[in-house]
Chain A
Amino acid sequence: QLQESGPGLVKPSETLSLTCTVSGGPVSSGTDYWSWIRQSPGKGLEWIGYVYHSVFTSYNPSLKSRVTIMMDKSKNQFSLRLNSVTAADTAVYYCARDQNYLDVWGKGTTVTVS
């Protein structure tokens, strides 16, 4: 299971920080990628990026300059940081296990930039 956590309200120009806690298996599994996805109100799914093998990352080119995804093996968590947020970053943020397909999702957490 995956569970997102973090502030529900972030001020413009500040940094959005979310954590995904993984239960039922190690986040450091060598075959799993761990992704963040978001969904703006009334819009479709947008992939933000993933982390795998603890240190390797890949980001959506449209967000790459503002995004950092990291893994904390000791806590079995991975995290998302999005800098310099604007109202356009208001969305439901999901974390998911990525095996080429996203087979386990968190319930999502709503983040409002205001």
Chain B
Amino acid sequence: SYVLTQPPSVSVAPGQTATITCGGDNLVIRRVHWYQQRPGQAPVLIIRDDTVRATGIPERFSGSKSGDTASLTISGVAGGDEGDYYCQVWERNSDHFVIFGGGTNLSVL
């Protein structure tokens, strides 16, 4: 089955830039989506289709992809950005499975 690999954790000082990566085989041909999950809350879509910010998401959040690695970049990180971040793709085999990465916990030092 298809696997998306994320680092378990990323730490960054306030005001700095955080980058969270998501890797997978042939990711270049798949559309990658990103979710933020604050503690105790439901996930929220922040980036869809590799680079498109979801409605209401600040410009501080951006997505990119190079080859088989997608990246979520958060500039000017603040305490409110702490939480877990997940990447996701559709695995377009015969049953169109929804695949999540294992998640990355972002902590603000």
Interface residues of A (CB under 8 A from B): 35, 37, 44-47, 50, 58-61, 94, 98, 100-103, 105-108
Q: Are B45 and A102 in contact (CB under 8 A)?
A: yes
Q: Are A44 and B48 in contact (CB under 8 A)?
A: no
Q: Are A102 and B97 in contact (CB under 8 A)?
A: no
Q: Are B42 and A106 in contact (CB under 8 A)?
A: yes
- Decide if the interface of chain A is mainly helix, strand, loop or mixed: strand
Q: Are A45 and B100 in contact (CB under 8 A)?
A: yes
* A59 to B98 Cα, complex, angstroms: 9
Nearest CB of chain A from residue B20's CB, rounded to whole Å: 14
Q: Are B43 and A47 in contact (CB under 8 A)?
A: no
Select which of A37, A45, A47 is within 8 A of B97 by beta carbon.
Answer: A47
Using A61-B1, A101-B33, A108-B42 as known contacts, say yes or no to A47 and B48 having CB atoms under 8 A apart.
Answer: no
Q: Are B100 and A46 in contact (CB under 8 A)?
A: yes
Q: Are B103 and A102 in contact (CB under 8 A)?
A: no
**Is there a chain A Cβ closer than 8 Å to B99's Cβ?**
yes
* CB-defined contacts of A35 to chain B, threshold 8 Å: 98
Residue of A nearest to B92 (CB): A100
> Which of the listed residues A46, A58, A61, A100 has the most CB atoms from chain B within 10 Å of its own CB?
A100
Q: Are B49 and A101 in contact (CB under 8 A)?
A: yes
The 10 closest A-B pairs by CB, nearest first: A47-B98, A101-B33, A101-B48, A44-B103, A45-B100, A105-B42, A58-B95, A103-B45, A108-B42, A44-B102
* CB-defined contacts of A60 to chain B, threshold 8 Å: 97
Interface string of B53-80 (1 = CB under 8 A from A): 0100000000000000000000000000
Select which of A44, A94, A101, A107 is within 8 A of B45 by beta carbon.
Answer: A101
Select which of B42, B96, B103 is within 8 A of A107 by beta carbon.
Answer: B42
* A101 to B44 Cα, complex, angstroms: 11
